[in-house]
Amino acid sequence: MEQCKESSRLYEGKILNLRVDQVQFEDGTSTIREVVEHRGAAAIVPILEGDMVVLVRQFRYAANSELLEIPAGTLEPDEDPEICALRELEEETGYKSKEILKIFECHIAPGYSTEKIHFYIARGLVRTEMKTEEDERIKIEVITIKEALDKMRNGQICDAKTVCGLYRALELL
């Protein structure tokens, strides 16, 4: 077990904070831990009739690449993850869901981040309209689940949350 002896916040941002903690081990030695604080997120695997999945394609600045992903977004303060998942589904894809099921949750990078992602499957989708944020440039791609698997295998889908969410959803379908 590690015990925090001193903590300092180096950065406070819109979606994350950065702090540096001095921690002490049970044997008395100490080290530094850099921690990215994040409110958490929700991700959703939208399934259409005929085993089709709705994905979003967008440029990710940090990865310097356009990625194919499942819809997802950061939780608002004190927001229920299911509400976040449904909001992100409609904002990013223009679909509402009649049926949603939580399939798992996980820490995305526990070595340095507090972020936990909650994953859902959405079925019974009804088309509405996209309501993207001002800074989002999203294109929708609807492909078969088999195509999604092929894209994961050949590296065309390489986003960790998307790979995890799709494999778990496939396991349950």
DSSP state for residue 114 in the 8-state scheme = -
Dihedral, CA of residue 151, residue 160, residue 76 and residue 8, to nearest 10: -150
Query: How far apart, in whole angstroms, are the C-alpha atoms of residue 141 and residue 89?
Result: 13
Q: Write down the catalytic residue from 49, 134, 136, 171.
A: 134
Is residue 134 flagged as an active site residue? yes
- Supply the DSSP string of 137-162, one letter for each residue: --EEEEEEHHHHHHHHHTTS---HHH
User: Which stretches of 11-100 are DSSP H helices?
Assistant: 81-93
Which residues are designated catalytic? 134
